[in-house]
Amino acid sequence: MAREKQAEITIMELLSPVSRLFVSPGFYGAIVFTLGFKTRCNSSAIVEGIKNTWIKLPRFSSKVVMDDKKNGEAVWVPVNVRVEDHVFVPDIDHFDITNPDQFIEDYTSNIANTTMDMSRPLWEFHVLNIKTSNAESLGIGKFHHSLGDGMSLMSLLYASSRKISDPNALPTTATTRKQVGSNDNRWLVARFWLMIRVIFTTFIELFKSLLTLCFMRDTKTPLMGKPGDRNGPRKIIHRIKVNDVLLGITQAGEDPVTEKKKSLEETRLRGTIAVNLRPETKIKAVEAITKRVFSHTTLTFSNVLGPNEDISFFEHPMCYVGASALIGPQALIIHYVSYADKIIINLAVDTTVIPDPHLLCDNLVESLEIIKLSLLEKGLHKMEV
């Protein structure tokens, strides 16, 4: 009897509040990512690697079911997973592809705009042995956002990878670096003062966000979502930029994406940057608040710190990683992901509002140069965090 009860508890595991939000009607969220490889891709090695890692995670071997016994709440139900049914290797005639980069953009966008089958585990991975201007082959994945956020899925990438310099070692995450020869007391004071500034800025921005949510409004623009809007079709593109754009910062030791984020935070743009919500309230309240936030948000922006060294994904040396989280009705979603010495700018756009997203990418690259020059002029690149 005890075993039966334990089995029932395992089978009927409730989704977290955030996961329930993403499976609720009218609020669909997915993460689409692209892995660029330096060699041709071996689909068998990918399948075997997923069997040894991803499938061992409960959410990757479960489906979402609305359980009538629990008042119709969403629960994870374990199922038998055949990995081959989730890994797709399309039969593509390379001679018919005149522009591989455009083909990959269209293929990725099609994946992003296709609704996932809720009757099976909510993930898929596509292997494309097509040479582009940035990679010899690609892996394109799609995860339902209920599986996790960007940071947890980046952790999954780490667990699925090994160092190029040491094939038996897991990748190292970015660590805090201390300036060599600096005074310990001064360093501690600087760290403490930085923490106070971060806490103060966080409270101010939270207060301003609450004011925006309750009273204020951004200027109406075509980018802004409207109450009740559903996610429309989006074009997914990315631009890879070597960090020489921020070389002065890189030489000083700080990660350029982190430094850039600090500069953006100091501008205190009201209502233009959507924050990650970590609700602990009931799902209906979370959904109502979140939808209201998105309806008053001009665009969604985030950055994720990726591997700071070259890694291999299931024995495939990587050259970049890009990702876009598709949430909310905004016409523009921007994600920055770092990989080794590169910054990958990822855009998800509504082309009826932004017909030339590549031009926007050019402008974003130019903005990185402006940020670099500003940081160098202020001497912020000398800060150690």
Q: How confident is the model at residue 274 (pLDDT cuts 50, 70, 90)?
A: very low
* 286-307 per-position pLDDT tens digit: 566 566 666 666 767 788 888 8
More confident residue, 252 or 69: 69
State the amino acid at position 234 in one-letter form: R
pLDDT exceeds cutoff 70 at 253: no
Q: What pLDDT was estimated at residue 266? A: 37
The pLDDT confidence band at residue 29, using thresholds 50, 70 and 90, is: confident
pLDDT-derived band at 270, boundaries 50, 70, 90: very low
- 35 phi, psi to nearest 5 deg: -110, 120
Share of the chain above pLDDT 70, in %: 71
Task: Give the integer Cα–Cα distance in Å for 84 and 125.
Answer: 10
Q: Which of 229, 240, 228, 252 is nearest to 375 (CA)?
A: 252
pTM, two decimals, is 0.77
Active-site choice (126, 144, 145, 381): 145
Active site residue 145: yes
Domain ranges (residues) in the chain: 10-163
Confirm or reject CATH 3.30.559.10 for domain 10-163, answering yes or no: yes
Query: What's the mean per-residue pLDDT of the chain?
Result: 78
Q: Tell me: the pLDDT tens digits for 125-178?
A: 999 999 999 999 999 999 999 898 888 888 999 999 999 989 889 888 654 444
**More reliable by pLDDT, 340 or 8:** 340
Residue 12 pLDDT greater than 90, yes or no? no
**pLDDT digit string, tens, across residues 317-353:** 999 999 998 887 788 899 999 998 899 999 999 888 8
